[in-house]
C-alpha cells in the first residue's frame, strides 16, 4: 500500500501525477460508483435531461447513492484541466507581472459569464469548470515544483487530496453529531492519537482549526481566561478583561509569529501587551532573556498571562528551549503555549523529535499538518493538556447540542471550537496516518531535512552566496553578495529584493524574502523552505545557481528600472 501511495505522490511528469490522483480517487469512490449504477443521477427536473448540456453542472448533487457517479465525469474534466494548466504554465509560477495575470483572469472569468451570466458572448455552465480550472492551474504557484520553495506551503499528498474530495462530497459539519456522526468520532480518535504524539494522556482535548493563527488565538484566549480569572476572581469570558489591576502581559520571542500580536489585539489585551524576548543568531529565544523579561514584568507590578514558545520559527525553523520556557512560565504562574505549527512535524521523525523535548510540559500546543504533514489546507490542530481548561469555551445551543441529547450519548464538538460550521478536516489526516503511518511520514520529514542540509552546503560552496545559519528543520536563510559593493548593506538589500522579483517575473522560481530582527539596512535575506520530499539535492543546487544568476543579472542591469 505504501508503495502505491508513493507512486501517486510522484510529481514528475505532471501527467503521471494526475493519473495517480485519478487512481487514488477511483479507489475512494469506486465502491460508491459501483453501488450507484442502478440509481440514475436525477436531472434538473422530473423527466428532464440527465446528461449533457449545462444541466449536468447545475443539477446533480455530490451526495447520496448517485453522487459518486455524478462526480466521476466532472472529476475527469478537472484532472484533465489541471494537467493542461500546469503544462501551459511550464514552471513553478506563471511568468509576467501581477497586473498582467489579473487582466487575464478577468478576461477569462468574464468570457465564461460566471459573474452575472449575461456577459457579451458568455457561455454559462458547459465549459466553465474546465476553463476556469485550467486557468487556476496555469495561474498558481505550484509547491510540487522543485523551484517553488518560498513558504510553508506544501505539495499535498495525493491520498490526502483524494480523502479531501470525500469530505467535500459528503459535506459533514462538525458542530453537531447529527450532521457528522462518523466524522465526530473520527476527529475525537485522531486528536487522542495526536495528543499522545505530543506526550499527553487521555486527559488532553483539542480540535481541528484553520491553522496556526486560529490555534494561537485559542491558546492565548484560554490563557487569558484562566490566569485573569484566577487573579481577579471574576470569569473573564463573562465580565470581560478587568479595567483595573495589574496589566496582563504575554511574552514571546522577537521571532514569534505575528499572530501572537493579532491574538492579543482580538482578546482585548492590545498588541502592546506582547513583550518581545531577545533571540540568538539562529532566532531561538534566549532563556536568560526570558527570565529577565519575566522578572521585569513582575517588578513592574504587571501580570504574566502567557509565555509563547515557538517550535519552528517561520524563517529559520528554530525551536525555543521548551523545558526552560516551561520552568519559567510555571515559576511566574503563566500559561505556556507552544506554537509548533511548523516544527510539530518533527514529532513524526525519530531523528528530529528530540528537538521538541519539553513540549509535553505545555498547557496548549498548535500543530499544522498542512506544513510538514502534506495535507491540503486547512489542517491545523489545537490541543490542551487538560480538558478542563477548555471550560470558558463551552457553549450550549439548544438546536445543536441540547443537554438531553448529550446525556443520551450523542456527543458534540461545539464547545471545543471558535467556529460553528466546520469541515471534517480530520479525515484526510486520519487517512494519511493510516496509509503511511508515523514512520512513513517521518521518512518524508527526514527527506526534507536532508534537502535543507544539502542546500546549506551548496550555499557555502558558492562564491556569491552567504548562509545565515545552519538549518534546523527544512528552511534556511541566505543572501546574494554582489561582486561589487558587497560592503554597502543598503545596496545588498535592494539587490536581494530585486532578484527575487526578477525570478517571479520570469516564472523561474519562487524564493522567500524576509528580514532579520533589528534595525537598519543589511537585514534582508532570501529563504528556501523545502517541503517537497521528491525534490533532489541536485534540484536545490540548480535553484541556488538560478538565484545567483538572477543576482548577477540585476547587478549588471536591473530590469525594474531602478539602480541597485
Our measurement of the distance from residue 449's CA atom to the centroid of its chain's CA atoms, rounded to an integer in Å, reads 18
Residue 123 maps to a domain: no
What's the rounded Cα separation, in Å, for the pair 156 and 148? 14
pLDDT digit string, tens, across residues 241-251: 998 899 999 99
pLDDT-derived band at 27, boundaries 50, 70, 90: low
The residue segments making up the domain with residue 213 are 173-237+245-422
Tell me whether residue 4 is in a domain. no
| HEC secondary structure over 74-134 | HHHHHHHHHHHHHHHHCCCCCCCCHHHHHHHHHHHHHHHCCCCCCCCCCCCCCCHHHHHHH
Q: How far is CA 420 from CA 214, 396, 415, in A?
A: 14, 12, 9
Contacts of residue 227, Cβ cutoff 8 Å, sequence gap at least 6:
248, 303, 305, 306, 333, 334, 335
Q: Are residues 488 and 463 in the same domain?
A: yes
Q: Are residues 262 and 197 in the same domain?
A: yes
Is residue 191 domain-shared with residue 322, that is, in the same domain? yes
- pLDDT for 558: 60
475 closest CA partner among 357, 346, 351, 375: 346
Q: Tens digit of pLDDT for each residue in 347-401?
A: 999 999 999 999 999 999 999 999 999 999 999 999 999 999 998 888 899 999 9
* Residues facing 367 on adjacent strands: 340, 381
Give the pLDDT score at 48: 37
CATH code, 253: 3.40.640.10
Q: Are residues 406 and 458 in the same domain?
A: no
Residue 72 and residue 126 in contact, taking contact as beta carbons nearer than 8 Å: no
Whether 313 and 349 map to the same domain: the answer is yes
Looking at the structure, do residues 228 and 269 belong to the same domain, yes or no?
A: yes
pLDDT tier at 10, thresholds 50, 70, 90 = very low
- End position of a domain, from candidates 361, 396, 422: 422
Q: Judging by beta carbons within 10 Å of its beta carbon (0-12, 13-18, 19+), is residue 40 exposed, middle or buried?
A: exposed
Choose among 163, 160, 104, 155: nearest CA to 132. Answer: 104
Q: What's the distance, CA 191 to chain centroid?
A: 18
Q: Give a yes or no: residue 151 inside a domain.
A: no
Whole-angstrom distance, CA of residue 262 vs CA of residue 130 = 39
Q: Which residues contact 100 (CB under 8 A, 6 or more apart)?
A: none
Residue 269 within any structural domain of the chain: yes
149 in any annotated domain: no
d(C-alpha 444, C-alpha 6), whole Å:
10
**Do 216 and 347 fall into the same domain?**
yes
> Cell 481577579 identifies what position?
232
Whether 275 and 414 map to the same domain: the answer is: yes
Give CA–CA dist 163/157, Å, rounded: 10
Q: How many CB atoms are located within 10 Å of the residue 168 CB?
A: 11
Q: Do 524 and 550 belong to one domain? A: yes
Looking at residue 114, what is its pLDDT? Answer: 47
* 529 contacts: CB under 8 Å, gap ≥ 6: 149, 150, 151, 152, 153, 474, 475, 512
Q: How far apart are CA 31 and CA 520, in angstroms?
A: 62
Which SS3 state, helix, strand or coil, does residue 552 take? helix
**CA 286 – CA 277 distance, rounded (Å):** 8
Neighbours of 303 (CB within 10 A): 22
Residue 119 belongs to a domain: no
Last residue in a domain, options 388, 422, 456: 422
- pLDDT at residue 244, as a whole number: 87
Residue 446 lies in a domain: yes
Contact 477, 317 (CB under 8 A): no
Instruction: Report if residue 417 sits inside a domain.
Output: yes
Total domains present in the chain: 2
- The CATH code of the domain that includes 532 is 3.90.1150.10
Confidence of residue 164 (pLDDT cuts 50, 70, 90): very high
Surface-to-core class of residue 127, CB atoms within 10 Å of its CB (0-12 exposed, 13-18 middle, 19+ buried): middle
Average pLDDT on 50-56 reads 49
Q: Is there a contact between 182 and 303 (Cβ–Cβ < 8 Å)?
A: no
Q: What is the mean pLDDT of residues 431-454?
A: 98
d(CA 234, CA 88): 61
Domain boundary residue among 392, 422, 452? Answer: 422
How many residues can be counted in the chain?
A: 564
CB 361 within 8 A of CB 323: yes
Instruction: Note the pLDDT of residue 557.
Output: 80
Residue 434 binned pLDDT confidence (cut-offs 50, 70, 90): very high
Residue closest to 88 by CA, chosen among 72, 104, 110: 104
Q: Looking at residues 91-96, what average pLDDT do you find? A: 97
Q: Looking at the structure, do residues 346 and 390 belong to the same domain, yes or no?
A: yes
My answer on whether 267 and 328 are in the same domain is yes
pTM: 0.87
Cβ contact 304:334 at 8 Å: yes
Beta-strand relationship, 524-529 and 475-480: antiparallel
* One domain, residues 483 and 384: no
Q: Provide the sign of the torsion angle of the four alpha carbons 483, 488, 492, 498, taken in this order.
A: negative
* pLDDT value for 436: 97
Range 277-288 average pLDDT: 96
Q: How far is CA 171 from the centre of its chain?
A: 21
Q: Answer whether 372's CB lies under 8 Å from 531's CB.
A: yes
Amino acid at each position: 500500500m505504501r508503495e502505491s501511495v508513493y507512486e501517486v505522490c510522484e510529481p514528475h511528469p505532471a501527467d503521471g501525477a494526475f493519473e495517480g490522483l485519478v487512481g487514488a480517487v477511483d479507489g475512494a469512490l469506486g465502491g460508491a460508483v459501483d453501488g450507484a449504477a442502478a440509481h440514475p443521477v436525477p436531472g434538473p427536473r422530473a423527466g428532464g435531461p440527465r446528461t449533457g448540456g449545462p444541466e449536468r453542472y447545475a443539477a446533480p448533487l455530490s451526495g447520496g447513492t448517485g453522487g459518486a457517479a455524478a462526480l466521476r465525469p466532472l472529476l475527469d474534466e478537472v484532472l484533465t484541466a489541471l494537467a493542461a494548466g500546469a503544462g501551459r504554465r511550464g514552471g513553478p509560477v506563471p511568468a509576467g507581472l501581477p497586473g498582467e495575470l489579473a487582466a487575464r483572469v478577468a478576461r477569462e472569468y468574464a468570457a465564461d459569464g460566471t459573474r452575472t451570466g449575461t456577459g457579451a458572448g458568455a457561455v454559462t455552465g458547459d465549459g466553465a469548470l474546465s476553463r476556469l480550472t485550467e486557468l487556476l492551474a496555469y495561474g498558481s504557484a505550484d509547491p510540487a515544483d522543485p523551484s517553488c520553495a518560498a513558504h510553508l506551503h506544501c505539495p499535498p499528498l495525493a491520498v490526502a487530496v483524494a480523502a479531501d474530495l470525500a469530505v467535500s462530497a459528503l459535506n459533514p459539519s462538525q458542530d453537531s453529531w447529527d450532521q457528522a456522526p462518523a466524522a465526530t468520532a473520527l476527529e475525537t480518535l485522531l486528536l487522542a492519537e495526536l495528543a499522545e504524539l505530543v506526550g499527553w494522556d487521555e486527559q488532553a482535548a483539542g480540535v481541528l482549526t484553520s491553522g496556526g493563527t486560529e490555534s494561537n488565538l485559542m491558546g492565548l484566549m484560554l490563557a487569558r481566561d484562566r490566569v485573569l480569572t484566577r487573579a481577579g476572581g471574576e470569569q473573564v469570558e463573562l465580565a470581560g478583561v478587568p479595567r483595573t489591576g495589574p496589566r496582563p502581559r504575554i511574552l514571546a520571542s522577537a521571532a514569534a509569529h505575528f499572530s501572537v500580536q493579532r491574538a492579543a489585539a482580538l482578546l482585548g489585551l492590545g498588541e502592546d501587551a506582547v513583550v518581545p524576548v531577545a533571540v540568538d543568531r539562529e532566532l531561538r529565544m534566549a532563556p536568560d532573556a526570558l527570565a529577565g523579561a519575566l522578572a521585569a514584568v513582575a517588578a513592574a507590578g504587571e501580570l504574566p498571562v502567557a509565555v509563547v514558545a515557538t517550535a519552528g520559527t517561520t524563517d529559520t525553523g528554530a525551536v525555543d528551549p521548551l523545558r526552560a520556557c516551561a520552568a519559567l512560565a510555571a515559576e511566574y504562574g503563566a500559561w505556556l503555549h507552544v506554537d509548533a505549527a511548523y516544527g510539530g512535524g518533527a514529532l513524526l521523525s525519530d531523528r528530529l523529535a528530540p528537538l521538541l523535548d519539553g513540549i509535553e510540559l505545555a498547557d496548549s500546543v498548535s500543530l499544522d499538518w498542512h506544513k510538514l504533514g502534506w495535507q491540503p489546507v486547512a489542517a491545523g490542530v489545537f490541543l490542551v493538556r487538560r480538558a478542563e481548561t477548555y471550560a470558558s469555551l463551552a457553549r450550549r445551543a439548544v438546536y445543536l447540542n441540547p443537554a438531553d441529547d448529550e446525556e443520551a450519548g450523542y456527543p458534540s464538538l461545539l464547545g471545543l471550537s471558535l467556529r460553528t460550521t466546520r469541515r471534517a478536516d480530520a479525515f484526510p489526516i486520519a487517512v494519511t496516518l493510516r496509509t503511511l503511518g508515523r514512520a512513513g511520514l517521518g521518512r518524508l520529514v527526514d527527506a526534507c531535512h536532508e534537502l535543507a542540509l544539502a542546500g546549506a552546503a551548496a550555499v557555502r560552496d558558492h562564491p556569491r552566496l552567504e548562509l545565515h545559519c545552519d538549518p534546523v528543520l527544512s528552511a534556511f536563510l541566505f543572501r546574494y553578495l554582489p561582486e561589487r559593493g558587497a560592503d554597502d548593506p543598503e545596496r545588498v538589500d535592494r539587490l536581494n529584493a530585486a532578484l527575487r522579483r526578477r525570478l517571479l517575473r520570469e516564472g523561474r522560481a519562487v524564493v522567500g524574502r524576509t528580514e532579520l530582527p533589528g534595525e537598519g539596512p543589511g537585514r534582508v535575506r532570501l529563504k528556501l523552505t523545502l517541503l517537497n520530499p521528491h525534490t533532489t539535492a541536485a534540484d536545490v543546487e540548480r535553484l541556488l545557481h538560478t538565484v545567483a544568476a538572477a543576482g548577477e543579472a540585476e547587478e549588471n542591469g536591473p530590469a525594474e528600472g531602478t539602480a541597485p
